């Protein structure tokens, strides 16, 4: 399990690399896995809590349909959602699970966010007929064959990613079952679309 400092360092480096690439800067301040020389790790941790986690959660939770809302404008107003994507749903379930593991003294309300995401992954994104995670569902969480009816390993990995991190703090029957089934799906596919 990561210590808080290791968690902050890993998240900072991930965000810095992503930010550098997204802004076209190429190499970022996170090169070599080091925190930048200016801010101390507690300052980075404060930004993580106040500006990143505080901006997204609980705002992103879709209380009507479940899962997380994906579309916002520059002022953080919700835009209509046409589809929900397993990669985004898995990632936004993984984040609160990582927070709950790294900050056990701050688990509430993060555990609730994890349960919210896992419930959606299980009830809407899971293909009950064939197993594995659906790539896309419509805005109401229903499978829609117009939206990529196949499954890609990339999407399966994000469902697995979320379930694996969630299992670190609570290994529920549904989480373990999804993990094992997805691993079997990955082993059996040998690169085929399922």
The per-residue pLDDT for range 96-133, each reduced to its tens digit, is 999 988 888 888 899 999 989 999 998 999 888 888 89
Are both 190 and 163 inside the same structural domain? yes
Are both 87 and 34 inside the same structural domain? no
Are both 73 and 50 inside the same structural domain? no
Q: Is the pLDDT of residue 59 over 80?
A: yes
Q: Is the pLDDT of residue 25 over 50?
A: no
Q: What are phi and psi of 24, to 5 degrees?
A: 75, 25
What is the C-alpha separation between 125 and 131, in angstroms, rounded? 10
Q: Is the pLDDT of residue 81 over 60?
A: yes
Contact, 190 vs 23, CB < 8 A?
A: no
* pLDDT band for position 1 (cuts 50, 70, 90): low
Say whether 68 sits in a helix, a strand or coil. strand
Token representation of residue 140: 């109401």
Number of domains the chain contains: 2
Tens digits of residue pLDDT in 140-168: 999 877 766 678 889 989 998 898 888 87
What is the C-alpha separation between 85 and 133, in angstroms, rounded? 10
Are both 83 and 29 inside the same structural domain? no
Q: Is the pLDDT of residue 180 over 90?
A: no
Residues 6 or more apart whose Cβ sits within 8 Å of residue 88: 68, 70
Mean per-residue pLDDT of the chain? 77
Are both 75 and 42 inside the same structural domain? no
What domain range is 37 assigned to?
1-56
- Could you tell me which of 158, 191, 19 has the C-alpha nearest to residue 85? 158
């Amino acid at each position: 399990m990561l210590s808080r400092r290791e968690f902050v360092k890993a998240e900072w480096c991930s965000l810095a690399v992503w930010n550098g690439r997204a802004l076209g800067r190429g190499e970022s301040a996170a090169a070599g896995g080091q925190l930048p020389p200016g801010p101390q790790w507690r300052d980075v941790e404060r930004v993580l809590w106040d500006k990143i986690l505080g901006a997204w959660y609980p705002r992103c939770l879709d209380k009507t349909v479940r899962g997380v809302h994906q579309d916002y404008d520059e002022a953080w107003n919700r835009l209509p959602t046409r589809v929900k994507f397993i990669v985004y749903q898995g990632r936004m379930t993984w984040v609160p699970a990582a927070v709950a593991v790294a900050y056990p003294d701050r688990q509430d309300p993060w555990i609730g966010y994890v349960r919210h995401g896992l419930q959606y992954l299980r009830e809407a994104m899971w293909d009950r007929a064939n197993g594995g995670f659906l790539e896309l569902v419509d805005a109401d969480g229903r499978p829609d064959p117009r939206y990529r009816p196949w499954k890609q390993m990339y999407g399966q990995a994000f469902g697995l990613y979320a379930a694996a991190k969630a299992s670190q703090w609570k290994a529920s029957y549904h989480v373990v079952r999804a993990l094992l089934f997805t691993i079997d799906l990955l082993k059996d596919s040998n690169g085929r679309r399922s």
